[in-house]
A and B are shown apart, each in its own frame.
Chain A
Amino acid sequence: MIHIEQLRLKFPGAEKRLFTDVSLSIKKGEKVLLLGPSGCGKSTLLQVMAGIIPRSIDVPMKASKLHIPNRVGYVFQDPDAQFCMPYVDEEMAFVLENLGVPRAEMEEKIARMLRLVRLRLPHVHVPIQTLSGGMKQRLAIASVLALEPDVLCLDEPTALLDEEGTKAVWETLKEVVEDRTVVIVEHKIDHILDFVERIILFNEHGEIIADGGTNEIFSTYRSFITEQGIWHPDVWETYKKPKTAQQPYAHGDVLLHVQSLRGFRQKEEKIAVEELVIHSGEWIAVTGENGAGKSTLLQSLMKLIRTEGDMYWQGELVKHEELLYDNIAFVFQNPEFQFVTNRVDDELAYSFRLEKRPEHEVAEEVERLLKRFHLSAQRHLHPYQLSMGQKRRLSVAASVTEQHRLLLLDEPTFGQDAKNTFALLEWLEAYRQQGKAIVMVTHDERIVSEFATRRWIIESGKLVADEMIAPRMLVRGEIG
């Protein structure tokens, strides 16, 4: 079905080859998972298998033998980057038109595909823009199935989805693939372990370390997997979290106090919260479904969108946004927007330079961050050239500095391998110990239960729960 021998691939201008003589073959009907640390080249390899490289993306590569099937369906990570038409039915029809399906048969086929992926809509002529992330991904799957592909390639199709959406998408996939060949790239593998039968394991240099049955790989290569920092089913059981995690912070004081906050998008009220108090030393996890308003809440707290209501920063009424920007760090959900320079190391140095720190200190800090976030080898790249996980790490590392006392992070761990997730969490924990407060949007229940001290649940624009997870902090005002 797929047969690759001695694949070599190197991005133009890169120092090293990404792949040196990689060979693999996949038989018809196999369900294969590509597993490896962030940045090892999984997405790139998947695109080679789908024929996207070099047909649509021109990257220098060669292979002594390369056999790939004609019809490959590919589901991309970003729900917004795979549609070319404005409406659901038009997007589905686009595929059918490509195949030359007669017009009379289209309507029925479209309805059948949408039923297959359980995308229930009032009617088919619905603007794609109004669908939630999970629905968009199911539409993507439906349109790919309409292709009747021999092979299905999935590159982290659920990275941006909530728990519900993730489950629904995988369940849909399991039902529809039948005897098709499936190749998956995914970090969070809990939902698919019962589905994939074979794992190809990579190390960080893009070499295949092992290739075999799912159970066999997990039992034989367990230490290697842990060492490379790849997610596996009981990674949390073996992980030793910092002793300080979830311990009350001794000297809490009120950082941000918000009263009757309302956030608007295009005149529409998208979030409304009666009262919020954030103390130093807190780690607040914000959870909720896709589209519930988590990102909107964070943006309102930073006054990035139009808001109403009173905000007090350490007791002082916030009149100018500058007061917030000086004290609060903000990490956007889409990392690509955050970058203001042309190189990874400049990006990390940017905030330090803004603080006018001496250049040798800046260099030291940057070295430290590069190491901690495993970006040393990528230091000369443009931020946009990084892999998904690398971008995410960089955007977090670059926006947080000493002067900030409150960190607002919008899904800082998506698309990340285990090693980097833990490194990031520990780094944040160290900040918390210095008396900073962390507000973090996440879909990962484990992170909430292992690290957060408090949780906010958002549901259709409202804060529906505000619960303590760790013992109540000692707050100065309360003991005095």
Chain B
Amino acid sequence: MRWSIDHRETWLHQTNPTAKLLFFLPMFVVIVFVHNPNVLINWTIGFTALFMLFSGYRMKHMLLFFAPFLFIFISTSSSMILFGKGETTWFHWGLIHITEESFYRGVHLGFRTLLFAIFGLMFALTTKPVLLFYSLMQQAKVKPKYAYSFLAAIRLLPIMLEEFQTVHQALKVRRAAKAKGFRGKLELMKRYAIPLLSQSIRRAQRIAVAMEAKGFTNERTRTFYYEVTLGRYDVYLFVAMCVIVAVGYYMADVFPYVAIKDVR
């Protein structure tokens, strides 16, 4: 939903959302079964390049998006590095036990998370939600009631954020925004959650009623305002991905960065 940030429309934006989803999701499975850190490092470089070159966002913004992921890199790997099993001890102090194996495993995990993050960013930043759901209805035959529910919910998001502020204000005014003790805090959490949730349930109801009043039925015989099709850009994307995957795999074999080929 960050697509509201200004950017160029590149060919990545022209790809079919469903196709993109179908290309990206299996990568999750593929990556999980790769145990060679060299491969992951190459893929990370490859897909980062694809993203940086063709997402159409400014470098400044992209670096901003990436910042949290470095933090995640560290925190994902640290647990495994500090407490993982291994033979070749590098450092041992109390419960902390760093070994060569656990270190590389930790780094491997870090790259894995980074790769998932890049796919996520690439998808989110180059896909308009409206077109995604239209495409899901047209290409994946998702039932309209699901697609339009998601679209309506997305429309409601900013309204609900505003509501959160109002609830906060109202509780302050009525002197109900503070509470002491653990029970009080729980009570307070409910005081926020209840109006927000019940309000969103009500809104959902009202919108469902309004949609049905506008003639919405769950039949598949509807027409579509946006026609989303498959095109040559989907082929480009597919080819680009295949190239990165294959070259990365090959290079890892020929020019490895680290000697370890399986971190398990």
A76 to chain B, nearest CB (A): 6
Which A residue sits closest to B198, measured CB to CB? Answer: A384
B46-86 vs A, Cβ < 8 Å mask (1 yes, 0 no): 00000000000000000000000000000000000000000
A265 to B255, CA, bound (A): 55
Complex Cα gap A98–B171 (Å) = 42
A103 and B227 contact, CB distance less than 8 A: yes
> Bound state CA distance, A167 and B89, in angstroms?
81
Q: Which of B173-214 contact A (CB under 8 A)?
A: 173-176, 191, 195, 198-199, 202-203, 205-214
Please tell me the number of chain A residues within 8 Å of chain B, measured between CB atoms: 57
A103 and B223 form a contact (CB under 8 A): yes
Select the stretch in B6-14, B24-32, B118-126, B159-167 that faces chain A.
Answer: B159-167
Q: Quick check: is B235 within 8 A (CB to CB) of the other chain?
A: no
Query: Interface readout for A312-341 with B: 1 if CB under 8 Å, 0 if not?
Result: 000000000100010000101010111110
Interface range, B side: 35 or more
Within 8 A of A (CB), among B129-158: 130, 148, 151-152, 154-155, 158
Compute how far the CA of A350 lies from the CA of B217 in the bound complex, rounded to whole angstroms.
Answer: 44
Residues of B within 8 A of A276 (CB): none
Pair B211/A57 contact, Cβ less than 8 Å: no
With A106-B225, A304-B169, A304-B172 given, is the CB distance from A98 to B215 under 8 Å?
yes
B155 touches A84 (CB 8 A): yes
**Choice from A98, A330, A334, A340 contacting B222 with Cβ under 8 Å:** A98
Check if B213 sits within 8 Å of A56, measured CB to CB. yes
Q: Mark A56-96, 1 if CB is under 8 A from B, else 0.
A: 11000000000000011110101011111111011001111
In the bound complex, what is the Cα–Cα distance between A300 and B243 (angstroms)? 58
Those of A213-237 within 8 Å (CB) of chain B: none
Are B203 and A81 in contact, with the CB atoms below 8 A? yes
CA A296 to CA B167, docked complex, whole Å: 16
B194 → chain A closest CB, angstroms: 9
* A340 engages B191 (CB within 8 Å): yes
Task: Give Cα distance in the complex from A147 to B198, angstroms.
Answer: 31
Chain B residues whose CB sits within 8 angstroms of the CB of A72 once the complex forms: 213
| Interchain CB contact under 8 A, A98 and B214 | yes
> Which residues does chain B contribute within 8 Å of A87, judged by CB atoms?
130
Q: Does B224 contact A (CB under 8 A)?
A: yes
Neighbour of A85 across the interface among B130, B158, B170, B222, CB < 8 A? B130
A1 within 8 A of B: no
Q: Are A76 and B210 CB-contacts (below 8 A) given A100-B223, A129-B158?
A: yes
* Chain B residue nearest to A50 in the complex (CB): B213
- For A77, the closest partner residue in chain B by CB is B206
User: Can you pick out 20 interface pairs between chain A and chain B where the beta carbons lie within 8 Å of each other?
Assistant: A72-B213, A81-B203, A81-B210, A83-B155, A83-B207, A84-B151, A84-B211, A96-B225, A97-B222, A102-B223, A147-B214, A304-B169, A332-B169, A336-B195, A337-B166, A337-B170, A337-B199, A351-B174, A384-B198, A399-B174
Q: Which residues of A are at the interface with B, using a C-beta cutoff of 8 A? A: 50, 52, 55-57, 71-74, 76, 78, 80-87, 89-90, 93-103, 106, 128-129, 143-144, 147, 299, 302, 304-305, 321, 325, 330, 332, 334, 336-340, 350-351, 354, 384, 399
3 closest cross-chain pairs (CB), A and B: A93-B225, A84-B152, A98-B215
